[in-house]
Structure 1
């Protein structure tokens, strides 16, 4: 005689309903809805959530609070959008007018200086407090912050020509005893050697045979 098994595992002689519990034999098992994970809300059929890994045997986690309150977010945004401090920038150009003045006064290196056929404008952000202007020299260990020895080099610029000093109180330039000297804003008068001369944003520094450097304060 064939023995049937009901969905609950009982053995039954009857094949339509279980002799033990009366459950229908051969009927599909009822569908059980999966429970929701108390942590992330995803359907989870076992102890550990397949999405976030939460252990259902542990207490339900407390609701998370935003990292920033709305007012705090607005404050952070305003700080990030605030403009930065000013920075000093040096713009280096080949100045034909200055070159003509140097040639007219027959400076020490006037006969060796040639005006470059092409000299792209260079912009250098001045970093630190003391910026050396000159030409690089491996033998002398010189590596100027504003290197005017890059081709086409100005033959009238000394190796260590001048320094720009930046302080909280302002900016100044000092000629270091260069051969051809340093002048400002189109003047024919050279500034005294080894004496700091104050500068303002927009001032033109003339040095060498044709080099002009414009210093300007710009928003960082």
Structure 2
């Protein structure tokens, strides 16, 4: 059974025209049929030519103003991350070349016109008019009178200039990625190391006794997401990354996830927060915002609970085979 769409095409489908895609219940379009049907006064409402493909959607980088394809993860010009909204760490946005500062226009000064030469009678007349008059700067009665220059007024002391107050940087939960996440290097397997960190324990306000630091527990990641927490039968929590020895870790504390190219960490509203720091830098003090994913760089470390530190890295061949 077939029906005719509002544009005049015969369609086997009853919801959308299988020729032009127009909804079958839409009002008739404004297009005219191509030619009158032979043998009658009507028109041949046959299939029309396919519409041209739409131009690819684009987005403008808010950091440097460059135009990128809408599906782009990073700006091609400056590396701005469209997924997390973080600017690059390599430097400021590229400057757009423009005309340099205008140089002041020098006005052309026309040379003074030559004065006409005076005759001898005019010169004698000017000398007679000057005689008898006191002129500043000329000798009067054998003495030279000089015009007294006005004394400059003393300038008021403005006082010491106030020192500018340095602007305090706004606190940030985590710095912008360096665009070197571990998954940029192709690998088919990943592991998470679970460490006991005495330095992290030293800054926590807890009465728990920190266990001795030894070799880490290694968890092989077999899926694109992994729950960080402590097991709980009542809450049906079975975390892939089990930090059950640390009672300051929530049952469902945080979530690791990957799109096959990058890794993120997201706090799930834990009691004591999730922190991300970098090797060689001070320990983090600001927790991640619950529900907001943060991309993990190669040298990043995740801190949870009273002493737990997590590190993401490539799996060795022995760990892939279960012998790590």
8 Å contact kept, 1:86–1:219: no
How far apart, in 2, do the equivalents of 1:115 and 1:159 lie?
19
Q: Which deviates more, 193-202 or 92-101?
A: 193-202
Q: What is the distance in 1 between the residues matched to 2:214 and 2:239?
A: 19
Contact 2:196 2:212 in 1 (8 A): no
Q: Quick check: which one's helix share is greater?
A: 1
Q: How far, CA to CA, are the matches of 2:218 and 2:246 in structure 1?
A: 17
Determine if contact 2:254/2:267 at 8 Å carries over to the other structure: yes
Asked if structure 1 preserves the Cα contact closer than 8 Å seen for 2:264 and 2:294, the reply is: yes
- What secondary structure sits across from 2:202 in the alignment? helix
User: Is it true that 1:163 corresponds to 2:255 in the alignment?
Assistant: yes
Q: 1:139 to 1:85 in 2, by over 3 A?
A: same
Report what 1:30 is aligned to: none
CA contact 1:203–1:216 (8 Å) conserved in 2: no
For the pair 1:98 / 2:200, whether they are aligned, the reply is: yes
Aligned to 1:136: 231
Is the aligned partner of 1:192 residue 2:289? yes
**Aligned residues, how many?**
127
Give the C-alpha shift of residue 117 in structure 1.
3.4
Deviation at 1:85, TM superposition (A): 3.5
* Aligned counterparts of 2:297 and 2:314: Cα–Cα separation in 1: 9
SS at match of 2:204: helix
Q: Secondary structure at the match of 2:287?
A: coil
Q: Which of the pair has the greater relative contact order for Cα pairs under 8 Å at 6+ separation?
A: 1
Residues 71-121 of structure 1: CA deviation (Å, up to 9, x unaligned): xxxxxxxxxxxxx93422111110000001113xxxxxx23x220136541
CA distance in 2, matches of 1:179, 1:102: 13
Q: Is the 8 A contact 2:224 2:260 kept in 1?
A: no
Q: Residue 211 of structure 2 is aligned with which of 116, 130, 137?
A: 116
Which residue does 2:48 correspond to in 1?
A: none
**8 Å Cα contact 1:182-1:207 kept in structure 2:** yes
Structure 1 stretches of 5 or more lacking a match? 1-83, 104-109
Corresponding position of 2:310: 213
Report the Cα offset of residue 167 of structure 1: 1.3
1:202 and 1:216 in contact (8 A); partners too: no
Q: 2:268, 2:290 within 8 Å by CA — same for their partners in 1? A: yes
Instruction: Identify the structure with the greater strand proportion.
Output: 1
- Distance in 2 (CA, whole Å) between partners of 1:197 and 1:168 is 16
For the residues of structure 1 that align with 2:190 and 2:212, how far apart are their CA atoms?
Answer: 29
> Please, what TM-score do these two structures have when normalized by structure 1?
0.54
In structure 2, the gaps of 5 or more residues are 1-185, 278-282, 318-324
Matched, 1:175 2:267: yes
Give the whole-Å Cα distance in 1 for the aligned partners of 2:299 and 2:222: 18
- Partners of 1:175 and 1:195 lie apart in 2 by 7
CA distance in 2, matches of 1:202, 1:138: 34
**Residues 115 and 129 of structure 1, relative CA distance in 2, 3 Å threshold:** same
Q: Secondary structure in 1 aligned to 2:219?
A: strand
